[in-house]
Structure 1
Amino acid sequence: MDEQLKWELIQAALDGEELDRITDRAAHYLGSPLVVISTTSNIIAHSASLTPPDETWLHAVERGYITLEFVATLAGWDKHKDHGTRYECITVAINDRRRRFYKLTIHSQLLGYLNVTELDGHFDAVSEEEYHFVAQLIAKEVYARLKGQDFSRKARDEDFLLELLHGSFVNRGHFIDRMRLSGFDPSAQYRVLCIELGDFLSYNADEDTFKRDLLELLPGSTMMVSDQVLVILASDRLFLPERAPAMLRNLDSYLRSQKLLCGISDAIGDLYYFSTYRDQALSAARYRKYLIDQSLAYTFYDEVKVYDILQQIPRSELIHYCSRQVYEIYQYDAAQHTDYITTLLAYLKANRSVKSTAAYLHVHRNTVNYRIARIRELFGLDLDSFSTAHQILLSCQMIRLLQD
């Protein structure tokens, strides 16, 4: 390695040169083109004087961001990282050219990624320590840039939402000042959608087809990846009765084709509470497993919020709130290998409709009638009383949590 180039790189950082200039110097030091990527997929710096003869690289730099597919894959870092390396990285081949990605972190805060593109088989000629050194130096520069950014300038909507998730605003006044510089309408209603990306894998770095497809389904939305979750802020107008049925059908079809599940929050009228509604959407996706009907790839928070409430009660205490009769059914199921709890829950959720219950459980109507009759006979349940049925339904939902 050229020690003179290394010293010039360090001196440039000490002198406070612009991030683009430092990235350019670092690229010449490593002998590889570099791209610095924010956590919202924006390309915030690249080596302008050292570029590869690669259309994918040039196209990404020209448009100013990497594909949503790729940043979603990087979010699943632990599943895709190289093995046997001293410093964590992900190495992939795109268009027969290797790329290596390093995390940019300061104080355990993820600031983005460094993309190193190989030139003429050069990767293995540079030690892991040198790549790590450059990644750390650039991470410090990105951190300083974030701390010293001009908040009087218009923010990218994705960065604004990320600030909300990170609790970056001192107070509501600070939030309002930043809101004025965003593209969001303070009087509009929105919904938050969350798609967990734990098993997502795509090294498509060319056309941003994932984002394009989602914008066709949810036009005008803002999307970003945070903590292995794709977070989407969409207009609540998309969920109006005249638009929602067709949109949700298309969304369900697309999610299934991609083997993805989505949670959808309640409507939000104040983006100051964006993180709360993000949590709602996450809960909707994660508590979907407790629903009897899991035929759709999306779940509204309203369908599962009772489980969110029940989760606040310690497991050891939850049973004390459960109906005695329902707990007896739970014990009977365990001893006799029956599944009366699920039948009872489906029956009550279906407003005691035998036909709907049979459809939920994929059994014949006679089977439902037999099971409900046996439940009444064995446990003396009065399912015709609204108050009793409500208590039993809630208790069945408690049992669902306890069975997990």
Structure 2
Amino acid sequence: MLSFLSFMQKLSAYHALKKESIRYPDSPIFHVQNNLPVRETFTEATAYIIHSDDCLQIPKDNQNILWIILPNGTDDTEIPDWIENYVMLAEPTIQTELTFQLQHILKVERRIEEAHYKLSQCLINRKDVNTILSTGAELLENPLFLSDTSTRVLHWSDLNELKKVDDELIQCIIKHNFVTSDLFEKYDYKTLLPNIEQTEHAFIEHSNYQKKKERLIVKIVIEHRYFGWIVVIPQKRPFEDGDCQILDILANVLSLELERNKIGFALSYRENLLFELISGRIRNQEEFNLRAKGFGWIPGEHFYTMAIGFRDAYQSDNQERSITAYKNHLGMIYPTYKAVCIGNILYLLLETEDLESVANNLDNFFQTYHLAAGCSHHFSNIIEFSASVEQSLEILRIGMKQNPRQNIYRFQEYNMPYLVSTLKKYSQPNYFCLPEILRLQAYDQEFGTDYLDTLQTYLFFRNVITAANHLHIHRNTMNYRIQKIIEITGLKLTEGEDLYKIWLSCLILGVNGFCPH
């Protein structure tokens, strides 16, 4: 129902107002009438368009009528006190055009009221999501679809109608059921997704691309959590006034239905549970198993966590991309995966004892899309997932610095650098270094030599010729350097316990440097 006050506010969007007086702002309005009636029989809940000369003909009992008064040139006619509700325009206007505008306002309002009634009936009669979306599509006279925040399409209103749309993104979604990573970047989803989340009401996203139509979008929120969005495509007709308000109503009804039937949570329960593990809200395995069982997830006994990021993430700000674009791709390669995105890192919880088979399947994918992954150690208690998230990210960080060309960094390969990295977080790591190695480091700094690097390389290969080849020096030079190192440090490079201490010291002093593979 459109009230006098709201009708006046909508009128002000078309015309400047000179005077107004609304004594009964909540009175309804259902009709628009051009000029005064011939027999002075006035209809209540009506807006009458009159000229200022006609004001004296207005009856005194008129509280349920709204008068739209047109000025006569520079006329400054006084409005009689008995006129209860009126609006005088600031400038003269063509009366027929004004009538059309006011009738259009009422027509749009009737569309919105019809949508509110029909969609409310869907909720009252417990209609399913598909029926609610189909009803919304009929009201909007255009096809639409529902997606979650990973861009995965959950429901279509009319797939056949969408197949007719000349839109690269729509055809991609129809083929793959989500937005592929190349189009994710091409159409700047990294900017679009936060924009959807931060916009409270439906809005039209205009397109600057030849192969992408404009679309009407509204976000879906379930229990205060951003769940996804509805997209309407102008396939049957262009967007009209009232479409945004109707889509807002559809979004509210759909959110209530998803909440009532826990549909949204059934679709994203894994992510929710993983977030709760990371935050520490789930404190023991029994609690986790009980909650997961409610969604049909029975955790196994073998887990790894894989942190996936962009290979150039630490070097370039010009190639920012969203890891969400690759989440669905990974689902096709590894269908049973559980994943959660934090920042621009995707964490996979792998329920497997055979990490190598998973790594082999993913290696080409990472190579193709310039991604890299750090793997945690094996764990059997799901509560360790939170710690494994930090561990896998640190392995990724260390691996990318030491071997930037590698695609997958396994914990077993980087456990010693990880140990040193952990030491650095909790204490002064130099305390664990041999004094002799610190002396060698000081010598390098004073004389510009690189004996510490030579020592670490030699200890890694345990062979003079191989180490010399790696350093691109002659073996005689290598022998000279080894003797010089022994002379400076006084250490023996043949005794087992000393070798372990030397190796640990080298790692501590150069954890972010040398690690040949």
Relative to the length of structure 1, the TM-score reads 0.66
Match of 2:178 in 1: 66
Kindly provide the amino acid, as one letter, of the partner of residue 236 in structure 1.
T
Kindly provide the amino acid, as one letter, of the partner of residue 231 in structure 1.
Y
Kindly provide the amino acid, as one letter, of the partner of residue 395 in structure 1.
S
Match of 1:119 in 2: 234
Deviations 1:18-71 (A, max 9, x none): 6666666777888875443334554345545995333863774697x4156379
Match of 2:305 in 1: 192
Contact 2:215/2:231, CA 8 A, preserved across alignment: yes
How many angstroms does 1:297 deviate by? 1.7
Match of 2:455 in 1: 344
Kindly provide the amino acid, as one letter, of the partner of residue 457 in structure 2.
A
Counterparts of 1:362 and 1:124 in 2: how far apart (Å)? 69
Kindly provide the amino acid, as one letter, of the partner of residue 38 in structure 1.
D
Contact 1:35/1:47, CA 8 A, preserved across alignment: yes
Contact 1:222/1:234, CA 8 A, preserved across alignment: yes
Structure 1 position 37 matched with structure 2 position 147: yes
Counterparts of 1:399 and 1:91 in 2: how far apart (Å)? 55
Contact 1:36/1:44, CA 8 A, preserved across alignment: yes
2:289 to 150, 160, 176: 176
Deviations 1:192-244 (A, max 9, x none): 323214557599x9xx76654x34xxxx54154512333334453534xxxx4
Counterparts of 1:136 and 1:70 in 2: how far apart (Å)? 33
Structure 1 position 323 matched with structure 2 position 439: no
Match of 1:262 in 2: 373
How many angstroms does 1:261 deviate by? 1.1
Deviations 1:152-189 (A, max 9, x none): x9x56x74254223337575444223433566564452
Structure 1 position 231 matched with structure 2 position 347: yes
Match of 1:283 in 2: 394
Counterparts of 2:350 and 2:146 in 1: how far apart (Å)? 28
Counterparts of 2:217 and 2:459 in 1: how far apart (Å)? 52
Equivalent residues in 2 for 1:154-173, closer than 5 Å: 155=266, 159-167=269-277, 169=282, 172-173=285-286
Contact 2:307/2:374, CA 8 A, preserved across alignment: yes
How many angstroms does 1:14 deviate by? 12
SS of residue in 1 equivalent to 2:380: coil
Contact 2:149/2:229, CA 8 A, preserved across alignment: no
How many angstroms does 1:301 deviate by? 1.7
Match of 1:394 in 2: 504
Counterparts of 1:335 and 1:171 in 2: how far apart (Å)? 54
Contact 1:223/1:230, CA 8 A, preserved across alignment: no
SS of residue in 2 equivalent to 1:36: strand
Kindly provide the amino acid, as one letter, of the partner of residue 394 in structure 2.
S
Count of residue pairs the alignment pairs up: 381
Kindly provide the amino acid, as one letter, of the partner of residue 229 in structure 1.
I
Structure 1 residues 271 and 384: CA distance shift in structure 2, 3 A:
same
Kindly provide the amino acid, as one letter, of the partner of residue 274 in structure 2.
L
Structure 1 position 372 matched with structure 2 position 487: no
What are the ranges of 5 or more consecutive residues in structure 1 without an aligned counterpart?
A: none
Percent of aligned positions that are identical: 18
Deviations 1:316-351 (A, max 9, x none): 83344433333344444445444444333333344x
SS of residue in 1 equivalent to 2:406: coil
2:495 to 382, 385, 391: 385
Match of 2:42 in 1: none
Contact 2:115/2:249, CA 8 A, preserved across alignment: no
Structure 1 residues 93 and 372: CA distance shift in structure 2, 3 A:
farther
Structure with larger Rg: 2
Contact 2:398/2:512, CA 8 A, preserved across alignment: no
How many angstroms does 1:299 deviate by? 0.8
Counterparts of 2:109 and 2:413 in 1: how far apart (Å)? 62
Contact 1:347/1:357, CA 8 A, preserved across alignment: yes
Counterparts of 2:256 and 2:465 in 1: how far apart (Å)? 60
How many angstroms does 1:288 deviate by? 0.7
Deviations 1:2-31 (A, max 9, x none): 455556667858996766666667778888
Equivalent residues in 2 for 1:5-84, closer than 5 Å: 33-48=143-158, 52=162, 53-54=164-165, 57=170, 60=173, 65-67=177-179, 69=181, 80=191
How many angstroms does 1:116 deviate by? 3.5
Structure 1 residues 175 and 19: CA distance shift in structure 2, 3 A:
same
RMSD of the TM alignment (CA)? 5.5
Contact 1:31/1:122, CA 8 A, preserved across alignment: yes
Contact 1:97/1:117, CA 8 A, preserved across alignment: no
Contact 2:283/2:383, CA 8 A, preserved across alignment: no
Structure 1 residues 337 and 135: CA distance shift in structure 2, 3 A:
farther
Higher relative contact order, chain-length normalized (CA < 8 Å, sep 6+): 1
Contact 2:220/2:251, CA 8 A, preserved across alignment: no
Relative to the length of structure 2, the TM-score reads 0.54
Counterparts of 2:474 and 2:129 in 1: how far apart (Å)? 67
Kindly provide the amino acid, as one letter, of the partner of residue 289 in structure 2.
I
Contact 2:144/2:233, CA 8 A, preserved across alignment: no
Kindly provide the amino acid, as one letter, of the partner of residue 288 in structure 2.
F
How many angstroms does 1:264 deviate by? 1.8
